[in-house]
Chain A
Amino acid sequence: MSLSNIDLIEERIEEQRKRLNEEQRRAIRSILENPLLEDGFLLPIVDGPPGTGKTTVGAHACIYGILENIMEGVLYVAPTNFAAQQAKETYERLGLRPSDVIWLNPKARIKDWNRGIIGTRWDLSDLGPDDIRRLRNVPIIICTPYMLGRIKKGGLRSSNIKVLIDEFSQINPAVFFMIVGQTGAIREKYSRGGYALLGDPLQLPVVTTQEELMENVVEFIRARRTIEGGLNTLTLQYRMHEEICNAVNRMRQELSPWHDFAWLQPSNDVRNRDLESLGYEYAEERVPDGLCLSREELREILDPSYALVIINTDKLPGNNDEERTRSGSLRNIAEAEVAIDIAIAAYESYQAQEGRLMPTIISPYSAQVNEIKERLRTICPSHYDDLGNRVITAYSSQGREYPMVIVSLVRNNPQRRIGFLEDEKLRAQVYVACSRAQAKLIVLMSRDTFGGRPLYEELANVGTSQHALIWGWD
């Protein structure tokens, strides 16, 4: 098992290594360490809040481990195929050839060695001996936990591999032990390299009806054992403007069930990151009138000096109540129109050399995502190709980052019900959505409905900051 374009990888790794901070270096060392201690066990847990580079830490550790022959290969387990795709892209950015990082996929009809995506049936019956041989020699395989049976059946990983488990907030103890069973509980072959857990315990939780399955694996471990020396916590983030980072910190404080909560710090590179510093030129005169918002209002909202904008949707004209769709999900048409107004205005008025700014709209409700897409297609078909794919649910946004994010919280009703957005764990969707933004975050929410709830109050608690605009919040 060896990487093919070593020169390029070493060059990129070396270039990035200089930029790694001490926390990241320590986390990488932990992953590379032998898991068997004289009198115990080392299970590296990297607690990486948004933008702190936990996936980069995992990738660096794996590549370094393979280059230095510390391990023969890597099995990267991601809870969803979205997350698997993200991880693959991270490895490829570090110079790995797509064929050296195979994403093992459940869609059996996909077989593309050039792109590094191989789909296979549960019994591998659609793979020839040559395919199996190639898979065994691939340095890094990425897959979801449910594909591990195929890995075991085909003997696709050798005994000296490291198993990295990403986004552990979505890995409950049952899935964790399934991973251990499928990768380690083999008599002759076992993963001498051990396991490592990467994630942010405050991010998207496991969705279940059962109490026993609600806790994530790190909560499970902490409930049983004292983890000596603590976790590998990363606190320096490389994504968000300071104002967005502060809002995210306030939310983290509300979400954290533990006392050892660490305040997230922006690195100097991103502290003042706004759209202009990302290369986008703002032309105020190009801001058009919207369906709900006037040109002046849109100009104020899009002003590049505001990194965080909270819009109280109660102040919007007309009926802005939520409604339930046939699928059981919720949508809010007024909010959808505002989100489209802002997205189109930003698309028209911000331009970089590479092209226009493409804002991302995130909602916890799939009906709202669908509603925005459909309206966008009708209202502005010419922009649909660019903007349509930028409307996503909070679950699909995990692991990604975007220059500008518009979050639509949808809920608006006289009873002040906010459903799962109040749930102790599921409300983390809002935290995930907000922490995707690099330079500008715009949150659409009803103050009458969300007001008085600490998580949402804290989001809007910006004090006298000059980089935040609280719109219609009087």
Chain B
Amino acid sequence: MTSLSYLGKQYRQARVPLKRWRWPRREHLLERVYKRGPPPFNPFPSVRDVVDAALCPYAVFHKFYHGSQSALIGLRENEEGTKLGHHFHNFISYLKTEIVSGRARPSDAEGLFTRYCFSQHVDADTENNLKPYLRYWLRRKRESLEQLRNQRPKTFFEVHVASINVTFGTFGRRVHFPLNGVIDEIDITNQRMIERTLRGREDDSEPPFLKDFQLWLLWKIISSIDRNIVHEVLGCEDFENYELIVETPYRDFYIDKDNPLFNELAEDAFSWINDLATGNYSRLAIAISEAWQNKGFHGRPCRYGEEIEECALRNACYYRRRRYPERRSALGSDLRRLCYALFNEQVWVHDLLLYQLAYMEQCQDVDLRNDLRELLMGRSIFPAKVVEALDSEGFVLKVDEHLRGPLSEAHQDEFVNLDEIFGSFSVGLRRRARLDIDNPRSDIREGQIVVHVEGSVNVEGLSALLIKGSLLLREEPWYLKRLIQRSLFDLEKWGLDRNDKARTHVTVRLIDTLFGSGRFRARAEDHESQ
């Protein structure tokens, strides 16, 4: 029995399944074509994109073109701040790491929580809000934490997985898709994968809405990656027998991997993503209109006043249109055009790199793999050896001699985003990184550099297991485009009702003059300036 059982009541018409995903061609991957205009391939979707599309196709439209956050946040989390779930999971991974390493006992949990909140700048409200959830969780996990201490299982947290070979399909039809995501926890010794959430209630008999689907997608990704790659990083290769567990503060839910609804949901979601990411604007307009007509989940249409309560984007769909600025529609049409362009830019800059990295590790064509490695080496990727772990967030890395110059070049860029991946891009621990050039241990001429990562890494796990290599990944800060999209959408929705206020409001007058009539001047009039 899963939470998706009410799928039987079909509201949303199932999207026609895709015959083929729009993949980047060889010349795109090797950047032998000029990057201009709408990209001729689909974005590289994340598990969150697919789950959002399963929740509501219009959420995908908001995500792609308005830079919205994930739609499936859930009522409780939304009420108390979206960071709660993040801290809940992060603290548990910290606690487990400390216990496994023998530095703490389960009874130290309270003290560790205070230390965690201090080190992560968790504010007092968040800390107080988290406590009851943790109390529930600790009460029922005390025994298993004790076992953890004795057993010391090989456990990894926040494992990034990406594959270009995830297969979905029904009635014997199989289609390959790309997909990436982050697994909250993999316990290799006990063969289980855990998705942790704050959502759900004490008396729930089913996992929180769509969380089971989310975990299943992550399991599909890791199962589809080349066994050698996974073995090299995690020391295991077969995920068939792994237990999938959605963990809330109150209960653990074991997920049925063979639920046929998951396949249907995934196909439907990919079909929406494909249609809403098309670079053809007339087709896009049709897809947007269809997404609006199909707002909501199967069996649960979303209407004004009857919105889906799990959706965090309700305010993005239903908002009161105010009277001023009067030229809102002209402004809106320009802003939409800009938002589409910003999405296309993200696909060229960010998603293409994801494809390149995934192909570089997983593609069957050895020549293409080598060409991609040659192309990206020193520009986007800097393979490095971990020389020493200074603490759980600081590492001394050493890059190859031929990459020292490019790394030094990368450091000179103002807007640069660096991630540190322990393992490989396909399977690894991926953390936001900062190069500490001024650290006395750093010597960029020798290729040695100190890197600080966000979020702790299980140092013992790294050395005890097979993760020896690491990868510095350099990206353009593509997420800034999402920030712009969000602001543009907010501006499009914003307005005033009262004429007297509107007449003296600088923003209203700027928009109305820019897109309507009236004098538009750039310098004070001469007679006034004398």
Contact = CB atoms under 8 A, between A and B. Distances in A.
Interface of A: 26-27, 29-30, 33, 35-37, 39-45, 80-82, 121, 125-126, 146, 148-149, 173-175, 177-178, 180-182, 184-185, 187, 190-195, 208-213, 221, 224-232, 325-329, 366-367, 369-371, 373-374, 377, 393, 395-396
A33 to B, nearest CB: 4
B121 A212 contact: no
B366 interface: no
26 contacts: A30-B524, A37-B518, A39-B518, A39-B519, A41-B518, A43-B522, A121-B121, A125-B121, A125-B123, A126-B121, A173-B334, A174-B484, A174-B488, A177-B338, A178-B491, A180-B511, A181-B491, A195-B506, A213-B341, A213-B345, A227-B520, A325-B409, A367-B406, A369-B409, A370-B405, A393-B412
Interface string B439-469: 0000001000000000000000000000000
B342 interface: yes
Nearest to B407: A327
Nearest to A123: B83
Contacts of B342: 174, 210, 213
A178 B35 CA distance: 25
Contacts of B139: none
B338 A212 contact: yes
A117 to B, nearest CB: 15
Contacts of B510: 35, 41, 43, 180, 184, 194-195
B405 A184 contact: no
A192 B506 contact: yes
B504 A221 contact: no
A366 B342 CA distance: 26
Interface of B: 35-37, 121, 123, 334-335, 337-342, 344-345, 348-349, 375, 377-379, 402-403, 405-406, 408-410, 412-415, 445, 480, 483-484, 487-488, 490-491, 494, 496, 504-507, 509-511, 513-515, 518-526, 528-529
A369 B37 CA distance: 31
B405 A226 contact: no
Contacts of B402: 326
Contacts of A148: 487
Nearest to B123: A125
Contacts of B509: 35-36, 41
A211 to B, nearest CB: 7
A264 B361 CA distance: 55
A425 to B, nearest CB: 13
A362 B504 CA distance: 47
Nearest to B344: A210
Nearest to A82: B414
Contact of B521 (A42, A180, A395): A42
B514 A221 contact: yes
Contacts of B488: 174, 177-178, 181
Chain A interface mostly: mixed
B507 A212 contact: no
B487 A228 contact: no
A178 B377 contact: no
Contacts of B123: 125
Given A40-B521, A44-B522, A212-B338, A181 B405 contact: no
Nearest to B520: A225
A184 B512 CA distance: 14
A230 B334 CA distance: 24
Which residue, of A191, A231, A370, A377, has the highest number of chain B Cβ atoms within 10 A? A370
Contacts of A190: 505-507
Contact of A366 (B121, B412, B487, B522): B412
Contact of A37 (B338, B507, B519): B519
A185 B507 contact: yes
Given A42-B521, A184-B507, A228-B520, A210 B490 contact: no
A175 B349 CA distance: 18
A52 B166 CA distance: 59
A80 B416 CA distance: 12
A231 B522 contact: yes
Given A82-B414, A190-B507, A328-B379, A180 B491 contact: yes
A37 B521 CA distance: 9
A152 to B, nearest CB: 9
Contacts of A125: 121, 123
A224 B494 CA distance: 22
B484 A326 contact: no
Given A185-B490, A366-B409, 17 more contacts: A33-B524, A33-B528, A36-B506, A80-B415, A175-B484, A178-B483, A180-B510, A182-B487, A193-B506, A209-B348, A210-B37, A227-B521, A325-B409, A326-B403, A367-B409, A370-B408, A396-B412
Given A41-B520, A173-B334, A210 B341 contact: yes
Contact of A178 (B121, B487, B518, B528): B487
Contacts of A230: 522-523
B484 A180 contact: no
Contacts of A146: 480, 483
A27 B344 CA distance: 38
B521 A228 contact: yes
B37 A211 contact: yes
Given A173-B334, A190-B505, A40 B412 contact: no
Nearest to B330: A224
A393 B515 CA distance: 38
A358 B51 CA distance: 58
Contact of B406 (A27, A43, A45, A326): A326
Most chain A CB neighbours (cut-off 10 Å) among B348, B405, B496: B405
